[in-house]
Amino acid sequence: MELKIKHEIRGRIRFSMPVRRYSTEQADMLQYYLMNVPGISKVSVYERTGDVVVFYTCPRQDVIRALKAFTPAMEQPEKQEEIRALVPEHTSRALNNAYKEKLIMQVVKHYTIRWLIPLPIRRIRAVVRALRFVRKALVSLFVHKRLEVSVLDAVAIVASMLTGDFVTASSVMFLLEVGDTLEEWTHKKSVADLAGTMSLGVDKVWLRNEGGDVLVPISQVKEEDLVSVRMGTVIPLDGVVESGEAMVNQASLTGEGIPVKKDPGAYVYAGTVVEEGDLVIRVQNATGNTRYEKIIHMIEESEQLKSGVESRAEHLADRLVPYSFAGTILTYLLTRNVTRAVSILMVDFSCALKLSMPLSVLSAMREAQTHHLTVKGGKFLEAVADADTLVFDKTGTLTKATPRVVEVVPFGGNDKDEMLRIAACLEEHYPHSIANAVVAAAREQGLEHDEMHREVQYVVAHGISSIIEEERVVIGSWHFVFEDEGCVIPEGEEGKFDSISKDHSRLFMAISGCLAAVICLEDPLREEAPDVIRRLHDIGFTNIVMMTGDSKHTARSVAEKVGVDEYFAEVLPEDKANYVRKLKEEGHKVIMIGDGINDSPALSEADAGIAISEGAQLAREIADITISENNLYNLITLRQISEGLMKRIRSNYRFVVSFNTGLILLGLMGILAPGTSALLHNGSTVALGLKSMTDLLPKEQKK
């Protein structure tokens, strides 16, 4: 296939494809096909011209090769189905095209009827159309017992008809229908755009076969396959529990934070998290085609997590509806002019507020996502804007999420490489920054292993235990290995043990109750951490605290380097949660930042919990906000977006009240006709909605 390059700069190419025009389906298939090529970060397909713009970090030739392969692949039915499976069930492109057609048809239909249909028939049609608005008003009054905007609309339409002004009544109904279409379109587009940037983030799963559990790409899993899911990890696919018992957090689907017990025969859902226990799941839905719907559900649920400012503005808007009626009645009594009275009815405050407020939140969430920040609702953005206290976990947050093994010290005559191999075999089942470091060190040294152990058990914030060749093996903290498990140092090797540097984090492994190895890890400080802490102080955080399970020596060293106000060492998960609770009781707004399973209680307790995406999946699921980029500067960006959102919500509120009050006064003076009031009101509502969808940060801050 011949490709023409129309424009090229480093990392971006615009291609002209040999197809003059793509259908919506073809354009989506090409876009998602290219997005699945490693190294391609963004794709825009223009269906009318056949042009494709590709942003990439991979070799340029890989992009060209992928584009050349697309048309031949589409000619093969089996390949075409594979590509079609990459496209979500609903896409922004399809949504936009559907609403454009709907809007065009509304306009064409309205003016065709107005110009071609005889007046008597138009009046009969207007009466029939009005019944829908009257029905909504009656439901609002007698079912919901509320005086809402639908009542204002119905009274205005009926009043116009009773005075014989069917042209105004028809125009009002047309404008209301167009306004509803535009509001629905902008809202759904915001949700779809945000959903398109989010996913479960599960790339590989543990597939169970005759030889044990094997780590494979999720794309290789088929229906009826068995997958193992262990404590602290996300369930990757829908299925039925084959064996095992676990407590599963289903908050992402149900909103209920209390874990639910799952045992053999129970159904489990993708995106939920195993908090305790282990499961073997028989996959029922391997295609993942419900993922988009689950994300949409999560986003729509997140809109219910409204900020306090947002909720207060909307409630006030509802309370202003009776005043609109009072103004209408007063206008009629003073002027005896139905047209002026109807002009008052054409204006309300709640439409603009109820459109712009959710759109502002959705737009802020989408913008945050472009900065590698996933936020679950406006409530948490408000908490970040108002917070005065930050509580950091140390490992994986202020220090790098990828510590490295610097030394393995064997005891009891054990071989150093064999000890590292065993440690990696155990640690790979419960990924955390330290566990990942052990696994990486074994891989770098070429220490391959089969699954040599029995069932692996995890003790939160302490360690792991299992059985290898009938011997009990434990690996974890000093407290777990020596105090809980009662292990001892081999006789005569106490001096060797004492000589190990305390500047490093240490992982202890014992076999059959006797220390077998000490794994020393370097926990390097993030280069940006001191500057970020300083800037966080500058933008309003008055108390920045570090809490860690590490030794006092290590904690003090890190705290002094980064410049936190306080630090606490050798703390347990419940200590972190209790401290956050205490701060909240004292009246502080608290943000907790962590990356491990042991941070989960504190993340839940905080006004807003922030998880680092390279950490444990349980922490990411429980957290209200997730940072998916390895950069603490995103905390400053998050604060700026949050403060910008609160300013926008307040600004929108002031605009709606002042502009619509102006329309009411102009209608009262007889300057604006009802149709003009409706047009200006609906136009300002849509314009405010579109403005609410714009980015909060200036362009120079874009990454």
Mean pLDDT (10-residue bins), the chain, 703 residues: 83 87 89 85 87 92 90 83 73 81 90 92 95 92 83 83 85 80 70 56 75 77 88 82 86 57 88 82 67 51 52 62 80 82 73 75 84 82 94 85 85 93 84 79 83 66 80 89 92 91 84 94 86 95 91 84 92 87 94 79 88 64 77 93 92 88 84 79 81 82 50
136 half-sphere exposure, CB direction, 13 A CA radius: 13
Contacts of 332 (CB under 8 A, 6+ apart): 338, 340, 341
Fold classification of 373-400+526-630 (topology level): Rossmann fold (3.40.50)
> What stretch of H or E contains 4?
strand 4-9
Sign of dihedral through CA atoms 284, 287, 293, 296? Answer: positive
Q: Which of 652, 662, 644 is nearest to 687 (CA)?
A: 652
Alpha carbons 174 and 126: distance in angstroms, whole number = 10
pLDDT of amino acid 300 = 52
pLDDT of amino acid 228 = 92
pLDDT of amino acid 431 = 62
Fold classification of 4-87 (topology level): Alpha-Beta Plaits (3.30.70)
Alpha carbons 415 and 539: distance in angstroms, whole number = 52
Instruction: Please tell me the class of the 404-522 domain.
Output: alpha beta
Chain-centroid distance of CA 326 in Å reads: 43
Give the CATH number of domain 204-292: 2.70.150.10
pLDDT of amino acid 288 = 46
**pTM exceeds 0.85, yes or no:** no
Alpha carbons 670 and 652: distance in angstroms, whole number = 27
Q: Which of 188, 200, 172 is nearest to 676 (CA)?
A: 172
Contacts of 316 (CB under 8 A, 6+ apart): 349
pLDDT of amino acid 307 = 53
| For the chain, domain boundaries | 4-87, 97-195+303-360+644-701, 204-292, 373-400+526-630, 404-522
Alpha carbons 185 and 359: distance in angstroms, whole number = 11
pLDDT of amino acid 242 = 94
